[in-house]
Amino acid sequence: AGGIMITASHNPKQDNGYKLYWSNGAQIIPPHDVGIAHAILSNLEPWQAYNYSDEAILAHSLATNVTTTIADAYFASISALCDRKAANGK
């Protein structure tokens, strides 16, 4: 497993980008970063064999829209923290 986080920086725009994380949750560091950077630079152009339209992506059997699931879990989580629900009208 791995993860990517899109970041925006308060520093100059060239510092904006994304951070890569290894399966242990730590940011990727040498020596792994060199191979990953090479793979990224070798694949800057999208593969022409694929249809990248929103409709095609959402219709793919592996695509899942998790927005509702995440929103429901988030609101359930913060609702549990509210100790004055009656005062808030809920």
Q: Is 9 annotated as catalytic?
A: yes
Q: How far apart are CA 48 and CA 86, in angstroms?
A: 56
Q: Which residue has the tokens 């060239």?
A: 14
- Among the listed residues 9, 23, 53, 79, the single catalytic one is 9
Tell whether the torsion through CA atoms of 18, 21, 26 and 28 is positive or negative: negative
Of 3, 76, 84, 85, the residue nearest 36 (C-alpha): 3
* Residues identified as active-site: 9
